[in-house]
Amino acid sequence: MNLSELNPSQQEAVLYNDGPHLVIAGAGSGKTRVLTYKIAYLLEQGVAASRILALTFTNKAAREMKNRISQLVGDYTARYLWMGTFHSMCLRMLRQEAEVLGYTRDFSVYDTTDSKSVIKHIIKDFRLDDKVYKASVVHNRISMAKNLLQGPDQYAANRDYLMRDRFEKMYDMVRIYIEYNRRLKAANAMDFDDLLMKTNQLFAKHEDILKKYQEMFEYVLVDEYQDTNYSQYLLVKQLAAPENRVCVVGDDAQSIYSFRGADISNILNFQKGYSDAKLFKLERNYRSTQTIVNAANSLIRHNKGQIQKNVYSELRIGERISLATYMSDRDEAKAVAQQIHLLMRLNASTLSYDDIAVMYRTNAQSRVIEDELRQLSIPYRIYGGTSFYQRKEIKDALGYLRLATNLSDDEAFLRIVNFPTRGIGETTINKLYDAARSNKCSLMNIASAPENLGTELSVATQKKVLEFAQMIHRYAEESATKNAYDFAKDILTESGIMREAKADTTQEGIARWENLEEMLSSIHEFCERRKKEGIDFTPIADFLSEVSLLTDQDEHLDDTQARVTLLTIHAAKGLEFNTNFIVGLEENLFPSAFCQTVREIEEERRLLYVAITRSMERCYLMWARQRFRNGQVNFTTPSRFLKDIDNQFLLQTDGSKPTRKPMSSSSKKEVVSNMPSISGPSHLTRTTGMQEKGKKKAIRSEWQKDDRVNHRVFGNGTVLAVYRENDNDKIDIQFDQVGKKTLLVTYAKLERI
């Protein structure tokens, strides 16, 4: 292994392994390289691979890192590393220790969809108002509590929780939480959050088991430490003790997942938690131009809660970041599409659609952008859309596989008992469900002896239910002896799922069949990968464990065509693009209107920092003076964060104003390379509309006070005033249906009535 490939700061971080240390890795500074070389260095120094625990946040990151390590030390050595996500490592431990917690080793792992389904049933059974008790809200509250290691008792003792629930008239939250846990346990299942919480409980209640894993791991390494929650923090703390040979890598400036429970204080206070901790800083950025790095630095400098660092780039200076104003969100989207079209035409040999991204704060912003991209026939993909394994046909197929490996999995039972249709209707399912609840047993137990329901079910219906149960029992027996791929192929064929999909010759039906075929391919690839690792027999349960741990970031698009990527900034973490458009930089959108505290505003600023630092060569910042949201046109003001970026790194233009003079060829070139336009090149200015509001001044206009007018969106109304403010001609109108609105005269498109 040649450490000369690393810069001095990276080498220093790799070579130190004597105690706890924090590696602050600025954006694009090569943290993955450092982690890879650190692990390879430990292996080179004689540390056994099985004694290294490396924790990541996505399976994709773990695979990439393992592949890199394999290139350095060989496949044989790398295969024994304990490397994966927090959830996958916890699952691995729980499979070994499940019995002491009252589970069997083949317990199911419920994903978010499964968990919400259980909660919906509980809300229905408790006869609660599903408009008050929304499954997604209830699930989020339970999830956040679990990430803080708070069970129902701790939840009930938390005054903040109770006050919030009372304010929102959700008086039964504790009762739901208790019942939710009970049903998961009865189903021999854990949810995603349980994997962390149950492991913590395992260590707390069984010191011998904790000691076993402490002695097993000589070194603990954590990637993206700024994204850890309390549960993950405690796991790292416990597993690294007592020697505390722990290395955490991250960037506090990229902590953007507090809504998932991530706690930035874990990284900010690391040195307080370990008095002998050493700090290393990776400050050289290998991704972005100097201008982009400097602009991002000037932005994040305004955050008080951070570890100070000076990120720099030794790449070319590069173009200034474009900051553009547009009249509307439609104009903004049109400018994005036109600029992409121009860039591709001028840089056809060096630039691909894959190199370009459009980022936004909320998913809803993508619609208008999609419209404009389609108008210019620009191919695009939505990153982080519906996950492959969340598609209905895939969930149905997985339901069969899950139930066959865990007969107590009630959620899987409910999904597949009448799919494909076998004459077991909703009334029958409700009777089976009620019987299972009354007898405190699984639905499969009831279905296996439907005659016990007596006159509740007709003889014909009993026969259908029993035939389904017998089929599943047969599958369950086969699951232990058949290879995962053969087993899944047989089930998908025999159950009728494949036949039903293939019989539908519509595009949707063909797509479903193709997705099922793709799932079988993924199982086959999984089996083949295990063979290369020396595992000849792969049961279907192992594949299900892997699938249960997949995240959106782990999904791969089966798409060879180059496309522009559309995504939220939260989904952009860890990605990079040659050219990056960041749209919607307006108050109450970015930062979000829901962010009010200093802590929340600082996270929003970090979010913009992440967005800017995804850019390698070009970055465009854009905002619109009016945006259609919540069913109406809203006038906006620019994001406060735009003022935080040092002006010297910006090329500011106002695309909301028409160009009066033709531009020189040199000016046109600069605009094309730096600035989207709407209808021809925008004229350059040193302001963006962020100047102070001026005084209102009456003007002459075709519209006069008390005129009756019609607007295509707002309907009929009466003119109140026409005036000039900040160089814009405005009109106040009292609309009959929507109340008072202020519009720009030029774009109002009014008709006299």
Residues that are catalytic: 31-32, 223-224, 254, 614
Instruction: Give me the amino acid identity at 34.
Output: V
Q: Exposure string (b/e) for 2-16, b if CB count within 10 Å is 16 or more?
A: eeeebbebbbbbbee
Q: For residue 745, give both structure tokens.
A: 């005269």
Contact 345, 354 (CB under 8 A): no
- CA gap 278, 255 in Å, rounded: 21
SS3 state of residue 560: coil
- Residue 358 forms beta bridges with which residues? 566, 581
CA 630/CA 616 separation, integer angstroms:
34
- Burial zone of 114 (CB within 10 Å; 0-12 exposed, 13-18 middle, 19+ buried): buried
> What are the C-alpha distances in Å from 227 to residues 60, 93, 199, 264, 730?
16, 22, 19, 7, 46
**What are 411-419's contacts with CB under 8 Å, separation 24+?**
411/110, 411/114, 411/117, 411/118, 411/187, 411/189, 412/108, 413/442, 413/443, 413/444, 413/447, 414/117, 414/443, 416/495, 417/443, 417/447, 417/468, 419/497
Report the 10 Å Cβ neighbour count for 101. 17
Q: How many CB atoms lie within 10 A of CB 260?
A: 13
Burial 696-713 (b: 16+ CB within 10 A, else e): eeeeeeebeeebebebee
Distance CA 738, CA 438 (A): 53
Backbone region of residue 188 per phi and psi (left: phi > 0; alpha: psi in -120 to 50; beta: other values): left
Tokens (6 digits) for 680: 């021809």
Measure the CA–CA gap between 622 and 366, rounded to whole angstroms. 14
Helical (H) or strand (E) element with 665: helix 665-674
Length reported for the chain: 753
3-state DSSP assignment of residue 282: strand
Closest listed residue to residue 287, CA positions, set 27, 61, 65, 35:
27
DSSP state of 500: H
Contact 55, 84 (CB under 8 A): yes
Kind plus residue range of the DSSP H or E element containing 719: strand 715-725
Q: Which of 3, 80, 83, 81 is nearest to 41 (CA)?
A: 3
Report how far residue 630's alpha carbon sits from residue 696's, in angstroms, rounded to the nearest whole number: 28
The DSSP secondary structure of 531-551, one letter per residue, reads: HHTT-----HHHHHHHHHT--
DSSP single-letter state for residue 688 = -
617 by DSSP, 3-state: which?
A: strand
For residues 58 and 76, what is the distance between their CA atoms, to the nearest angstrom?
Answer: 23
